[in-house]
Amino acid sequence: MAGSTDGGGLLARLLPSRSRGNLQDQIYGLILLVFGLSLPVLFLFIVLRIGSESQLAIEAFGWGFITSQEWNPVLREFGALPFIFGTVVSSFLALVIAVPLSVGLAIFLTELAPRWLAGPIAFATELLAAIPSVVYGLWGIFVMVPWLRFTIQEPLSRRFGDTIPFLEGPAYGFSMMSGAVILSIMIIPFISAVTREVLDAVPREQREASLALGATRWEMTWQVALPYAMPGIIGGAILGLGRALGETMAITMVIGNRPDIAASLFAPGYTMASVLANEFTEATGALYLSALMEIALILFGITIIVNIMAQFLVWRVAKQGGR
């Protein structure tokens, strides 16, 4: 490795294992290096651009932008908290709904379902991922929201609304709950597909060994297969969370788009991606545009934080090595 004085000095430092060898390999390494760097460079450009565009809003509002609840384009007062709240809460609720469903579905498909049933169900689940989000949104407006309103929200809020703040009325249908439900339907295919793959990858010997030791099917699944597959399942959940955080069209059609922070699941909310999609086209005035850019920057930041946390979680679980 001391050969940094010869021809490919930079290359040698970047790709020590490829620096020696014939010319062909060096060119090959160089091309792959360009491919490899293209994404981080793109990432950097996006961050720089969004950052510079949001400079005006950052200077005008400072940290108050993140803690302010006021979003008033008429008075040029902008605060992102209701949108941050809406994005985080709707995505989190979607995960709460989607993860048990997806994992259950995957266990059923890999462990229990007969072959003739598993194929069609897996196919149908993956088909869900192919539906455009605007179609989900339309279905949400015309089918899901009225159903949620009349069969779930109104009875619940009438019965428990006065005592439990989460179920407080009035129930419009278009609400944080509707947003979370539609998000969960949209991310189930991702989480269940990944979970199914990782459960499939659990070595046959492991299962057989535990069964041979007298484990029931339940014990085999929960004590052997799932712990083994846990890092992959977490990874799948994070994939779903990433999609939920960034989802725009479907959720904006059902969440009610009101920038308020309400305890009730039946109250309308607003997400960061939705406000960008809604207001960007008609925004005029430098400060208004800049505030929207800063929301984009914050959304970017939240996504990065979530991903770092996910990496950490996967690393921890993998290190513990199951049970």
Partner 1 sequence: MADRRIRGRIPGGWLTVARLGILVSVLLALSACWSTDRDSSAEGDGDSDSVGRLTITGAGATFPFPIYSRWFSIYSRDHPVRINYQSIGSGGGIRQMIEGTVDFGATDAPLTEEDLDRIPGTLSIPTVLGAVVLTYNLPDMARSLRLDGEIIAGIFLGEITRWRDPRILAMNPDVEIPDRDIIPVHRSDGSGTTYVFTDYLNEISPAWRTRVGRGNAVRWPTGLGARGNEGVTGQVRQSPGAIGYVEQVFARQNNLPMADVRNRRGQFVAPSIEATTRAADGLAERIPDDDDFRLSIVDADTEGAYPIAAWTYLLIAPHYRDCNRGRAILEVIRWALLERADDVRDLNYAPLTLEIRVRALNALKTVTCGTDRRPIFDPDRDFMAEAIGEVEAPELEIEIDGEPEPESDPVPPSELEAGADPDGRQY
Which residues contact partner 1 by CB under 8 A?
70-75, 138, 141-142, 145-146, 149, 170, 172-174, 194, 197-198, 200-203, 228-229, 231-232, 235, 252-253, 256-259, 268, 270, 274, 277-285, 314, 318, 321
Question: Shortest Cβ distance from residue 226 to partner 1 (Å)?
Answer: 12
Pick from 159, 180, 150: nearest CA to 256:
180
Q: Which is nearer to partner 1, 85 or 228 (CB)?
A: 228
Question: Shortest Cβ distance from residue 244 to partner 1 (Å)?
Answer: 19
Q: Which is nearer to partner 1, 218 or 282 (CB)?
A: 282
Which two tokens mark 4?
A: 């940094």
Q: Which is nearer to partner 1, 139 or 300 (CB)?
A: 139
Q: Which is nearer to partner 1, 19 or 252 (CB)?
A: 252
Q: Which is nearer to partner 1, 177 or 253 (CB)?
A: 253
Cα gap 129→126, rounded to integer Å: 5
Amino acid at 123: F
Direct distance between the N- and C-terminal alpha carbons of the chain, in angstroms, rounded to an integer:
41
Cβ(272)–Cβ(86) below 8 Å: yes
Q: Which is nearer to partner 1, 100 or 146 (CB)?
A: 146
Buried b or exposed e, range 164-200, using 16+ CB within 10 angstroms: eebbbbebbbbbbbbbbbbbbbbbbbbbbbbbbebbe
Cβ(232)–Cβ(317) below 8 Å: no
Which two tokens mark 276?
A: 């960008």
Question: Shortest Cβ distance from residue 154 to partner 1 (Å)?
Answer: 11
Q: Which is nearer to partner 1, 15 or 239 (CB)?
A: 239
Question: Shortest Cβ distance from residue 291 to partner 1 (Å)?
Answer: 12
Which two tokens mark 5?
A: 């004085």
Question: Shortest Cβ distance from residue 283 to partner 1 (Å)?
Answer: 5
Question: Shortest Cβ distance from residue 53 to partner 1 (Å)?
Answer: 13
114 in helix, strand or coil?
coil
The answer for residues whose C-beta is within 8 angstroms of residue 71's C-beta and 6 or more apart is 77, 78, 79, 80, 82, 83, 259, 275
Question: Shortest Cβ distance from residue 7 to partner 1 (Å)?
Answer: 30
Decide: residue 31, CB within 10 A, 0-12 exposed, 13-18 middle, 19+ buried. Answer: exposed
Question: Shortest Cβ distance from residue 249 to partner 1 (Å)?
Answer: 8
Q: Which is nearer to partner 1, 95 or 276 (CB)?
A: 276
Residue 273: C-alpha distances to residues 17, 191, 205, 316 (Å): 43, 21, 46, 31
